[in-house]
Amino acid sequence: MQARYVLRIGAVFALAAGTSAATASATPAQHPPNYVKQATATGTGGAVASAEFNASKAGIETLRSGGNAIDAAVAVASTLGVTEPFVAGAGGGGYMVIYLAKTKQVVTIDGREMCAAACTPNLFLDPATGKPLAFEDARRSGLSVGVPGMVATWDKAVKAYGRKSLGSNLKPAIEVADHGFTVTPNFVDQEKEALADLQTFTSSRKLFLTKDGQPLPAGSTLRNPDLAHTYSEIAKHGASYLYGGPLGNDIARAVTHPPVWSGSTFNVRPGLMTAQDVANYVAKTRQPTHVNYRGLDVYGMPPSSSGGTTTGEALNILNGWNLSGESRAEATFHYLEASRLAFADRNAYVGDSDYQPVPVQGLLDPAFAATRRCLVGNKALTSPVAPGIPFAPYGTCPTSKTAANPVHEGTQTNHLVVADKWGNVVSYTNTIEQVAGSGITVPGRGFLLNNEMTDFDFAPATPSTYDPNLPAPGKRPRSSMSPTIVLKAGAPDFTLGSPGGATIITTVLQTLINHVDFGMSLPQALAAPRVSQRNNAKADAEPAFLSTDLAKVLTSQYGEQFAAKTGPVLPADSFIGNATGIDFLPGGRFQAAAEPVRSGGGSALVVNPQ
């Protein structure tokens, strides 16, 4: 089978897709509302927010048909694999944080991609020169592809915590893939950014481009029968269809024998992955990170992600200042400096904890945060700031010496949030890394493969530098994904997360303090202009932030320096993050929030709108 697209301006397949038996089974008193795309939705019965309308609708329909938040999260994620294929899908991985209402417990699932058994620390070194490969040479290759963890995450979550089967939760995505959806301007922008990658591989050209190898026209309808068939086989046979089955064999074959187009001029290196590597993959349950901030319990993702430790450390540093009592300029200055310091420690100490010890306890110790806070005066620190020493007993403002490594994390990720009527909550960030990942579509399967292995450091910053993030057999690269759930008095208060590579952490952090310290509603906190300091000489800032008086004061009075966030093709590259969240309001109400403008705006829905 192959994808087919039809030029149909104003097509309504996107609105009709996903209407399944779930809707038909609703009682007369539960007729589904007339769903529309909106950035904020308030109501009862459950809530969903994601970057895309069809995906959010799939989640709401799953809730309406008796599924819980875990079931709905899988429905949303699998549908995003259809409608947002350049940032999501079965060829990637991610991290899921879950609040279980029955046990009042937060659990996490690490579905991060895994390096092949043949991986070595030299994975991205040129054998001829011994030097690191150029990033695009590494990315556009089989070497960059890790064993996908997405389907394993869905399977593990549903079996442990869901109310429905994996197959049932995949039905909305199957229908959207089979019936088709409308190609949006944002979809076309992503095609343009990844055009050279998509053109390199015959399977990607066939699925995502016109016959002459150009982006699809906005307003056309894209069908993906291959993906509908792949999802249907997973629904029928379970995750073993991928892990140890025919789909895993096809993935390994695409990695070791990339389907390179005969007209390509790129040197596409084959990868090391075997079918056995795919069969050996396991999504892991891990203990969440936890810090207390202003009386709230903030839970996040532990290593192999750096999201929970870095956000948590920054919050601990900020706990030493009363941001709500400071001027907005002083409070923002403290936010920038806390982030700068936390990133220095992230880069020095965080990697896959299954391979190197990560001092999570020290990084999240308020006493360690005090040794970082004491470095902050009235002027911006000079980056790169040296990391601290997160090992007790802590000294007085001590630092260690280390060199910085370049960060290659792609910004085109996705985040979704779901809450159900029983009180369960899911915060789930997942990705295939860069726009279009490695560029390789698995032939006949309808989805792109990730390039997550380029999140490893290609080499130590210096030969003597300790580096916890080098490739190794079966290892997971460090991530910045930061799905977050916040409790108040033991019950959900709000949840949020974002895509954006390393800016995920600062987006979550800034949104959280906007909401908690500055008193913004969650939609306001998401929409506010963003600035991201990640231990760089200049902080990345959105144009909307740079135009404010606040930015001028931070520069003139506090010595902060800013660089305009820009990108080569995508209008979205001038934005930082693409966040979603849910606020839990009195009376059992939910307020779901998505971006109103960034990347064309997201989609927030509730079961029973008010």
Q: Which residues are catalytic?
A: 413
Burial class from Cβ neighbours inside 10 Å (0-12, 13-18, 19+) for residue 473 reads middle
Is there a contact between 486 and 269 (Cβ–Cβ < 8 Å)? no
Burial label for 80, CB within 10 Å (0-12, 13-18, 19+), is buried
Q: Which residues of 104-126 are buried (b: 16+ CB within 10 A; e: fewer)?
A: eebbbbbbbbbbbeebebebbbe
Q: Distance between CA 80 and CA 98 in Å, rounded?
A: 19
- The candidate with the shortest Cα–Cα distance to 604, out of 531, 521, 509, 529, is 521
Torsion sign across C-alpha atoms 432, 433, 436, 440:
negative
Task: Output the CA angle 467-469-474, nearest 5 degrees.
Answer: 130
Q: 577, 598 in Cβ contact below 8 A? A: yes
Classified as helix, coil or strand, 257 is coil
Say which residue the tokens 């085109």 belong to. Answer: 412
> Phi, psi (5° rounding) for residue 514?
-55, -45
403 CA to centre of own chain: 27
CA distance 555 to 548: 11
Q: Is the peptide bond before 302 cis (omega within 30 degrees of 0)?
A: no
Q: 3-state DSSP call for residue 220? A: strand
For tokens 């959900």, the residue is 492
Phi, psi of 402 (to 5 degrees): -155, 160
What are the two backbone dihedrals, phi and then psi, of residue 285, each rounded to the nearest 5 degrees?
-85, 130
Nearest to 405 by CA among 587, 573, 248, 534: 534
